[in-house]
Amino acid sequence: MKQRKIPLRKSVVSGEMHPKKELIRITRSKDGQVAIDPTGKMPGRGAYVAMEPAEVQSAWEKRILDRVLETSLTDEFYQELLDYVTHQKARRELFGNGK
């Protein structure tokens, strides 16, 4: 049986390539709304961040997502993203990679 190709994406924080399933996508729509995209299919400009709380914290401190998405993000959004990533990482450790 043929091996399936695993899509890779680059984290905007570390610059490392990871399988798409190990990253979280942040989108900015045409009207400027920024949202966490768990499906990876929302329309708009996307930026990927690894599912590591330390990487999200680094993005928050350096305001990396502000520059990449060309918008000004609030501390509340970064806190929501940090909470989401922390929760998802805990789920993966408990239940494995399957959902």
4-14, pLDDT tens digit by residue? 899 999 999 99
> Is-contact 60 78, C-beta < 8 A?
yes
Q: Tell me if 1 is assigned to some domain.
A: no
What was the pLDDT predicted at 95?
87
Helices (H) and strands (E) in the chain, counts: 3, 5
> Is-contact 53 41, C-beta < 8 A?
no
**Cα–Cα distance measured from residue 26 to residue 24, given in angstroms and rounded to the nearest whole number:** 7
Q: What global pTM score does this model have? A: 0.87
pLDDT in tens, 10-46: 999 999 999 999 999 999 999 999 999 999 899 999 9
Which range marks the domain in which residue 79 is found?
Answer: 8-95
What was the pLDDT predicted at 97?
66
Radius of gyration of the chain (CA): 14
Q: Tell me if 2 is assigned to some domain.
A: no
Q: Tell me if 20 is assigned to some domain.
A: yes
Q: Tell me if 27 is assigned to some domain.
A: yes
Give the domain CATH number at 76: 3.30.1230.10
Number of domains in the chain: 1
